[in-house]
Amino acid sequence: MTVRPITMIGHRALEQRARRVREVTPELHALVEDLLDTNDAAEGAGLAAPQVGARWRVFVYACPDAEGRMRRGHVLNPVLERAGALELDEGTIEGCLSLPGEGFPTARHRGARVRGTDLEGRPVEIADEGGVLARCLQHEVDHLDGRLYLDRLTPARRRAALDAVRDRGWRRAGRLTWDPRELTQDTV
């Protein structure tokens, strides 16, 4: 399929709640394939539709669970359940393809479960406790709700993240997307 440009912090699509998928169309099939291809090209753990400028409640994931097994798939209309206490592990850095090349310790619940459907209308349930997948599920649903992980940072870390955006010059240059076919996260 196609690798799409990824929207960056400041892009309006990242600030809006995504719309529920009511009908699976050929365009939606193409979007899911494009999300997987784009996530692979960008070497991401997951990617939500708003990150490529689409407003549907769909995301893809490709990351290890707590047992180290690589998990890959997609979810339409996900409903997130968090489990366990909110934890801030100083040694675990969370990043985002919409803020490429940056990462900060971010408070997340240890466990997460997402229920939704796949492109064939079959029920999907993905769960993890303590792995990258648990963090990814929470992160991607945040995107569908119009939130960035920066919204979950401590005030000092949020300031550091916004300073990093300023220092990279993205806003000054009017950069609202990046293309993983042309750049890596570190060279945006």
Which residues are catalytically annotated? 140
B/e letters for 81-106, b = 16+ CB within 10 Å, e = fewer, are ebeeeeeeeeeeebbbbbbbbbbbeb
| Token pair 């999300």 in the structure block, residue | 35
CA angle in degrees (0–180, nearest 5) for 154-158-163? 150
Strand partners, 60: 47, 74
